[in-house]
Structure 1
Amino acid sequence: MIRVLFVCLGNICRSPMAEAVMRDLVEKRGLTLQIKVDSAGTSNWHAGEPPHKGTREKLKEMSISTSGMVSRQLRTSDLEFEYIVCMDASNVENTRDMLRAYEDTKIFRFLDLTSHKKDVPDPWYTGNFQETYELCVEGCEVLLGRILEEHGLE
């Protein structure tokens, strides 16, 4: 089983959006037995809460489920994930500190996979859930391609 973890600050906007988008891509390709997707936050501010209303609305508009998703804080056992994908540079730094994995290359910034080379803007502050969704789709498609190639799937 290949495990992918998306990480942001509160785990209610960006990382659950990426989780839901990636789960949708994995399901559509029939890879649910090979790839597990989850998300977490570096803070515990929203632990146990569902994704932000804006995230849920955007994903519902795109027919992508958020069923069963609740926020949780990053924990040391998350270092077992093969891919730990952070939404911004601050999340990378905080994740490495929390997991004590300073040189671990499996912890990386999401958009470094794309030509954007920047952080995913937080719609908690920007209100732009469409932009976050578009970046998540692009990043998840690239990440899934990388996973398929690296693990000889499909």
Structure 2
Amino acid sequence: MRLLVVCLGNICRSPLAEGVLRQRIDQARLGHRVVVDSAGTGGWHAGEPPDRRTIANAAAHGVDIAGLRARQLRASDYRDFHWLLCADRANLDDVRGRAPGNATARSALLLEWAGLGQGAEIPDPYTGGPEAFEHVWTLVDRAARAIVAGLADRTRTIDA
């Protein structure tokens, strides 16, 4: 299964979710079954590392995302991934609006796809303080744990 986490600039929410998902997947020894990446709908930060506050927040929880680099969503992502998992409704609408005619990937809200609530969104912490980044950590960690539990549970099928 190939998962792409998408937010606006690929410097706060999506790289954090990518890092947490990768760590939880590796801890569960499911790396051979799942590939995770992240992208932003905008290209303003392409090539840059995640926001320093996101890096610090992840590091405080034992996740190293300092080596990640932002990139913009590209047309090939709609064929290269099974799921485009979006941080919020605006990102989801943008992702769906950009889908090329040959798209095979499905798109959904990350938290909703993880089973954490209909319409549940991850707020953008960019203009907030440390508590906003910690709130995002809590949400993406819960999502990552739920996704890994679903992948590990052979009786539950995660649609790909």
2:95 maps to 95
1:123 maps to 125
- Is the 1:20–1:64 Cα contact (8 Å) retained in structure 2? yes
| 1:150 maps onto 2:149 in alignment | no
- Is the 2:55–2:66 Cα contact (8 Å) retained in structure 1? no
| 1:86 maps onto 2:86 in alignment | yes
When normalised by structure 1's length, the TM-score is: 0.88
Q: Is the alpha carbon distance of 1:58 and 1:32 closer, same or farther for their aligned partners in structure 2, counting shifts above 3 Å? A: same
- Paired with 2:105 and 2:68, the residues of 1 have a C-alpha distance of 27
Partner SS state of residue 37, structure 2: strand
Q: 5 Å matches for 1:47-126?
A: 47-79=46-78, 80-100=80-100, 106-112=106-112, 113-115=115-117, 117-126=119-128
When normalised by structure 2's length, the TM-score is: 0.85
For structure 2, list consecutive stretches of 5 or more residues without a partner in the other structure: none
- Paired with 1:84 and 1:100, the residues of 2 have a C-alpha distance of 13
* Off by >6 Å, runs of 4+ in structure 1: none
2:31 maps to 32
1:10-56 CA distance string (max 9 Å, x none):
00000000000000001101122221110000000100000111110
Aligned positions, number:
150
Tell me by how many angstroms 1:65 deviates: 1.5
In structure 2, give the amino acid aligned to 1:78: D
- Over aligned residue pairs, what C-alpha RMSD do you find? 2.1
Tell me by how many angstroms 1:116 deviates: 6.7
In structure 2, give the amino acid aligned to 1:126: G
- Is the 2:8–2:41 Cα contact (8 Å) retained in structure 1? yes
Partner SS state of residue 68, structure 2: coil
- Is the 1:75–1:99 Cα contact (8 Å) retained in structure 2? no
For structure 1, list consecutive stretches of 5 or more residues without a partner in the other structure: none
Tell me by how many angstroms 1:69 deviates: 0.6
Tell me by how many angstroms 1:114 deviates: 0.3
- Paired with 1:75 and 1:146, the residues of 2 have a C-alpha distance of 28
Partner SS state of residue 157, structure 2: helix
- Paired with 1:143 and 1:46, the residues of 2 have a C-alpha distance of 28
